[in-house]
Amino acid sequence: MSFATDYLAQIERIAECMPLPRVRALHLPPSRPDEPCRDGGSGHARGEFCALELEDDSIGLSYVLLDDTLERLRSGPGLDDLKGIEALALARRYVSGQGVDRTLGFVCANAITRCLFDRAGYRPDGSSDSIGQMDPQPGEAIGMIGLFGPLVERIVAAGACLTVIELDESAVGEREGWRVTTDAAALEACGKVLSTSTLLLNDTLDRMLAHCRAARWFAMVGPSAGCLPDALFARGVTLLGGSWVEDREAFIDGLTSGDKDNRKGRKSTSKFALTKEGWPGFEVLLERVAQG
């Protein structure tokens, strides 16, 4: 069983437990072809993710810069075609679809997860730590899956030995205090790993985790990490860090306009951190919903 099939099985359980709202809209970032972006980066308005909104205001997020996903979303049959469709039917595409359909299924599943959290009265603990509570120490071997540019200096400055795993061969090489390689086996020597949540979309999750069995700490962070964590915790992930939408209207306005400085002065999101120890469990949330 893959993470996708495990996650979808939970989404199916949610649909059995409570009526799901239909899809209201899919919101895309503005076109910014000149700005390199990566999930988990420091700027939410850099054009790297989309938001799917359900009719009850629940919002899910997903990375959209894999291959030509964003371009195909823009030039596809039309965003209006998604309005009013059943959320469960769309979420099923995370397993049955590929490319754009897989992304749409994933972002819808994340919106359903937020719907469950709200109806169960659950909110993850907040977090102000952009490196997922890593606490890098001098001499530690730390792995990073996907290049989180703004975080590299912080880890290297702590005296840790940083190895970044990238798919882009042009990025490979030695830097001052850290290195980039395409060889995931380099993670086997790392006691701590920080990973982009795009692993949930590009079918590399299980392969990467297989090289991290010796890691005592594995944090997956980024806007796409708004999923149910059970299947990730079962696979060895120790922390899931994502974005919690606080102000729906301000958030959508900021995403679609590219207003990363939030000139309206309204905080639209905050960071959260989920750990295995702090997670009440999927069954507990379903029971809360069933009890009303």
Please tell me the total number of residues recorded for the chain in this structure.
Answer: 292
**What does DSSP assign to residue 161?**
E
At 6-52, the pLDDT tens digits run: 999 999 999 999 999 999 999 999 875 444 444 443 333 347 999 99
Please tell me the predicted confidence (pLDDT) of residue 75. Answer: 84
Q: Any alpha helices (H) in 48-201, and if so which ranges? A: 69-75, 87-91, 93-96, 100-119, 149-157
Q: Is the pLDDT of residue 265 over 60?
A: no
Q: Is the pLDDT of residue 79 over 70?
A: no
Q: Is the pLDDT of residue 191 over 60?
A: yes
At 85-94, the pLDDT tens digits run: 999 999 999 9
**What does DSSP assign to residue 197?**
G
Q: What is the mean pLDDT of residues 88-115?
A: 96
Domains and CATH numbers, the chain: 3-123+247-263+280-290 (3.30.390), 126-239 (3.40.50.11590)
Contact 155, 176 (CB under 8 A): no
**Exposure string (b/e) for 192-224, b if CB count within 10 Å is 16 or more?**
bbbbbbbbbbeebbeebbebbeebebbbbbbbb
Coil, helix or strand for 86? Answer: coil
Give first-to-last CA distance, the chain, whole Å.
Answer: 32
Report the chain's mean pLDDT, rounded to a whole number.
90
Alpha-carbon gap, residue 184 to 291, rounded angstroms: 45
pTM of the model: 0.91
At 138-164, the pLDDT tens digits run: 999 999 999 988 889 999 999 999 999
Please tell me the predicted confidence (pLDDT) of residue 78. Answer: 59
Backbone angles phi, psi at 196, to 5 degrees: -70, 150
Nearest C-alpha neighbor of 243 from the set 39, 6, 27, 46: 39
Please tell me the predicted confidence (pLDDT) of residue 150. Answer: 84
Please tell me the predicted confidence (pLDDT) of residue 41. Answer: 39
Q: What angle do CA 46, 209, 44 make, to 5 degrees?
A: 10
Give the pLDDT band (50/70/90) at residue 262.
low
Please tell me the predicted confidence (pLDDT) of residue 42. Answer: 34
Any idea which of 45-59, 121-135, 181-195 has the lowest mean pLDDT? Answer: 121-135
Q: HEC string of 198-249?
A: HHHCCCCHHHHHHCCCCCCEEEEECCCCCCCCHHHHHCCCCEEEEEEECCHH
